[in-house]
Chain A
Amino acid sequence: MGIAIPSQPLRPPQGRIGRLLHNERLILGLAGIVVFLAAWELGSRAGMIDRSFFGRPTGIVEAGIKEVQTPRFWGDFYASVTEFGIGYLLAILLGVPIGLAAGRFRRLQYALDPWLNFFNSLPRIALLPVLVIMFGVFGPGAKIAVVFLGAFFSIVIPTMQGVRTVDRRYVDVARSFDASERLLFRSVVIPSTVPFIITGLRLGIARALIGVVTAELYTQTEGIGVLIRRATELRQGDRALFGVLIFTVSGIVGVEAIRRVEARFQKWRPMTSLERR
């Protein structure tokens, strides 16, 4: 007799346990969160974790409910949203076209490259004091500028690289059919650059949020960052962490929004094995 290679019949997950195991990714993820929150809450109630610094989960919820009923909170919230919105939008409106143009025209890229490298290597936050002097400490000018600088370079650089890596074959196809420069751009350059632009937008959100927080902590005029600082100084850990939570949720919402935009543009792409669960 030879060596037997065992066979195994194909069986879909069956019964309650089988279905549970099928969703183990979700279940274990939730379990991790629940265990962490419970340990935090219990540790705080047992006095092992200092509530004035670290808060506690139920305390954060209570502080949040109280906070949203004050007009001052909405003033701060509105200020942060404005800074983020204007700065990020300006970064997209300038970053995408400049990135496309610099990727398309070699000479423009050569001219811009030193500046892009310079600003990209520079921690933009270091410019904050200078910007405050330029724009004044009151008003949103300096804060918007920091948000803009953070997001702009994250968007312009991948966009430019995207245009430069357009597949030669597709350009040849367009040229062989005598496509106009405009049609070449619309039918080949833009579609192949979209994934790069999306990556830029995603990086840009994180950079823009860092800009909002830092600028607010520094200028101390208004905004959710100021709320965090005020609460920390008053040893109100719950309230400070509620502010942090707002930034976290904003980040998640922003990234998810971009993921949806991406899905709309990427219907034509087969799912990779990494994306399939």
Chain B
Amino acid sequence: MQAGLALEARNVRMEYVDQATGERLLAVDRVDLDIEEGQFVSIVGPSGCGKSTFLKIVNGLFPATDGTIELRRPDHGVAHAMVFQDSSLFPWYTIVDNVAYGLVCQGVPRKEAQARAKPLIDLVSLTGFETKFPYQLSGGMQQRANLARALTVDPEILLMDEPFAALDAQTRELMQAELLRIWNEAHKTVLFITHQIDEAIYLSDRVIVMSARPGRILADIAIDLPRPRKLEIKRSPDFITYADQIWSLIATQLKSHLHEVQAKPGESVA
């Protein structure tokens, strides 16, 4: 593995067998990806393009069919931790127990894990909500706790699977700004999955555009916008140029996919 890299993926392929039809389907195809240490990298693509699948392969939730993924061996903490989509907090645990969960999984006694979770709870601005249960928190606060849970185990690379997808538009904007603040303080490499183009541009150093299924890398776009970024940057001309560029890439994918679907009943499509 090359020095200075946090992740090195080579020729990653993921096939699976559809349980209903018995067909072999290709979800991810020949993905090559290098992520430098400390970089914020987003993957965008049409829904169902295999971007979440790729993330779960990195997370070790299921194996790739072919190819290799290497992660930097951490000096401390763990190699990777995942921030899941909405409501993945355990509803039967209080916020502090949820945030401390990763440490408990490593065998840290509960009391000590809670104490070590405390600074992360403060970092994501949930001070005072330690003994609340997830249902007592808003969606945005739940996702802050979700983020703190992943940060508590001190991962080399933070994997984020559409963490703001279920939030309303206003909360989502605020959470994006919050995430940049936290990223700035925690100095983590981030691999972020989203279907929102503006979210990807706003957050990232690089945006990877994936094709419709099977997921392949269509483009790797460096986002050359100054940091720290304010939310207003989303209305700057440079930002909009990036957005147009990425949207046109995705739109061709969506169109070809749409034609495929419409063509299925045997009618001709102009």
Contact = CB atoms under 8 A, between A and B. Distances in A.
A170 B92 CA distance: 11
B29 to A, nearest CB: 24
B105 interface: yes
Contacts of A169: 84-85, 87-88
A15 B153 CA distance: 59
Interface in A163-179: 169-170, 172-179
A12 interface: no
A172 B61 contact: yes
B92 A191 contact: yes
Contacts of B135: 268-270
Contacts of B12: none
A269 B91 contact: yes
B104 interface: yes
B105 A268 contact: no
**Most chain-A Cβ atoms within 10 A of its Cβ — which of B85, B105, B153?**
B105
B129 interface: no
B133 interface: yes
B90 A188 contact: yes
A127 interface: no
**Most chain-B Cβ atoms within 10 A of its Cβ — which of A173, A178, A270?**
A173
Contacts of B82: 173, 176
Contact of A268 (B59, B91, B106): B91
B45 interface: no
Interface residues on B, range: 20 to 34
B54 interface: no
Contacts of A192: 92
Interface string B62-97: 000000000000000000011011011011110000
B102 interface: yes
Contacts of B87: 169
Contact of B88 (A173, A179, A180, A270): A173
**Most chain-B Cβ atoms within 10 A of its Cβ — which of A169, A177, A183?**
A177
Contact of A178 (B92, B93, B105, B133): B105
A169 B102 CA distance: 15
Contacts of A176: 59-61, 81-82, 84
Given A191-B90, A191-B92, A269-B91, A180 B133 contact: no
A175 B61 contact: yes
Contacts of B101: 173, 177, 187
A177 B81 contact: yes
A267 interface: yes
A187 B90 contact: yes
Interface in A82-122: none
Contacts of A268: 91-93, 133-135
B96 to A, nearest CB: 13
A267 B90 contact: no
B133 A174 contact: no
A170 B90 contact: yes
A267 B81 contact: no
Contacts of A187: 90, 93, 101, 104
B88 A170 contact: yes
A172 B105 contact: no
A161 B20 CA distance: 22
Contacts of A174: 105
Contacts of B56: 172
A191 B135 CA distance: 15
Nearest to B98: A173
A177 B102 contact: yes
Interface string A247-277: 0000000000000000000011110000000
Interface in A190-244: 191-192
Given A169-B84, A172-B61, A268-B133, A179 B90 contact: no
Nearest to B89: A173
Nearest to A175: B61
A156 to B, nearest CB: 23
Given A177-B102, A187-B101, A268-B135, A172 B84 contact: yes
A179 B103 CA distance: 10
A52 to B, nearest CB: 55
B109 to A, nearest CB: 13
A172 B56 CA distance: 10
A267 B133 contact: yes
A169 B61 CA distance: 11
Given A192-B92, A267-B133, 20 more contacts: A169-B88, A170-B88, A172-B88, A173-B82, A173-B101, A175-B61, A176-B81, A177-B101, A177-B106, A177-B153, A179-B105, A180-B105, A183-B105, A187-B104, A268-B92, A268-B93, A268-B135, A269-B91, A270-B135, A270-B136
Interface of A: 169-170, 172-180, 183, 187-188, 191-192, 267-270
Q: What are the 3 closest A-B residue pairs judged by CB atoms, nearest first? A: A191-B92, A177-B105, A179-B105
